Amino acid sequence: MSSPQQKRPKKSSPTYFSSILSISLILFVLGVIGTFFVQSSRLTQTLKENMAIQLVLQESVNESDRLQLSKQLEAEVFVKDVEVIDKEEAAALMKEDLGEDFLETIGYNPLPDAIVLHVNAVYSNPDSLAWITEKILSNQLVVAVNYDENLSKNITQFSSKVLVGMLIFLGLLVLISFIIIDNTIKLAMFSQRFIIRSMQLVGAKRWFITKPFVFRAIFNGVLSAVIASLALLVNMYLLEKYLIDLNIFSHYLDFLMVAGVLLLLGIVISLLSTFFAVRKYLRMKLDDLY
């Protein structure tokens, strides 16, 4: 029974291969940009959370008051961490900064007790800091609240510009990816158009015809996303190892987030494109198929 003709390449596999390949590549590029986006937002977050806010306390404040105040502050939602610096510590810090013992020159320690706190990134902007200052000042123990208003303003402006820019860029990229993947899939489905028609002619219902294509599309989407994520991981590893220390792997959740988004995009785009392509050929007349 076996003839040399028995070797039969399945006609549909090469088209699926090329569409999986191109979806993977596009998702990979999206993943690179996405990782870049996540990293830069982490950078601005760090900048924002590093901004120190200094609370100057009344001379009369004793140790237990200070502790109580710091506990109170720690309980606030906007506070990231609180650090108590009494006048001796402050003097020691200043001595280090100035490089000379000013206490001897002046003869006493003029520095007040202080609390330094850092706020969470979302509160680290001029508007929020204004009401936070007011709120802290309402406490009798606090004389003044100091922070670099200009720095806060600059960081906020910079980060929001970066954020908006990146979002537009990302949105555009997703759109472009959608169009390219859609075209790739349409091309792959184009080769199936006569099969779809034959299926219709023998009395198969629309969903019965569409179903296997849809399942295949979901599988292709998942496979593409997995390939893209692995490629991204390898590239990040090589970058980390040979070029720059980004400390990317300490934030493995970031990577999982990017991979998750790629998975979602891969499935959704592949599924929608396939579904609409099949539906298009289901509606077409024979003469339009040629």
Q: Buried b vs exposed e over 134-155: b needs ≥16 C-beta within 10 Å? A: eebeeeebbeebebeeeebeeb
- Residue 96 C-beta-side C-alpha neighbours within 13 Å: 6
Burial class from Cβ neighbours inside 10 Å (0-12, 13-18, 19+) for residue 71 reads exposed
Distance in Å, CB of 187 to other proteins, minimum: 16
Residue nearer to other proteins on the CB measure, 207 or 242: 207
Task: Give 10 or 241: the residue with its C-beta nearer to other proteins.
Answer: 10
Please say which residue, 245 or 287, places its beta carbon nearer to other proteins: 287
DSSP helix/strand/coil, 9:
coil
Shortest distance (Å) from residue 14 CB to other proteins: 12
Widest Cα–Cα separation across the chain: 109
Minimal distance in Å, beta carbon 9 to other proteins? 10
CB of 190 vs other proteins, minimal distance in Å:
14
Instruction: Give the interface with other proteins as residue ranges (CB under 8 A).
Output: 3, 5-6, 8, 10-12, 194-195, 197-206, 208-209, 285-287
Amino acid at 29: V
Q: Which CB sits closer to other proteins, 165 or 212? A: 212
Least separation in angstroms between CB 203 and other proteins: 4
Cβ distance to other proteins smaller for residue 139 or 198: 198
Reading the block at residue 157, the tokens are: 């402006």
Integer Cα distance of 64 and 44 in angstroms: 36
Task: Give 50 or 191: the residue with its C-beta nearer to other proteins.
Answer: 191
Identity of the residue, 111 or 217, whose beta carbon is nearer to other proteins in the bound complex = 217
Query: From the CB of 287, what's the least distance to other proteins, in Å?
Result: 8
Describe the strand order of the beta sheet including 114-119 as a list of residue ranges.
Answer: 79-85, 114-119, 52-57, 142-146
| 3-state secondary structure at position 6 | helix
- CB of 197 vs other proteins, minimal distance in Å: 7
Alpha-carbon distance values, 83 to 66, 118, 123, 152, 242 (Å):
11, 9, 18, 20, 38
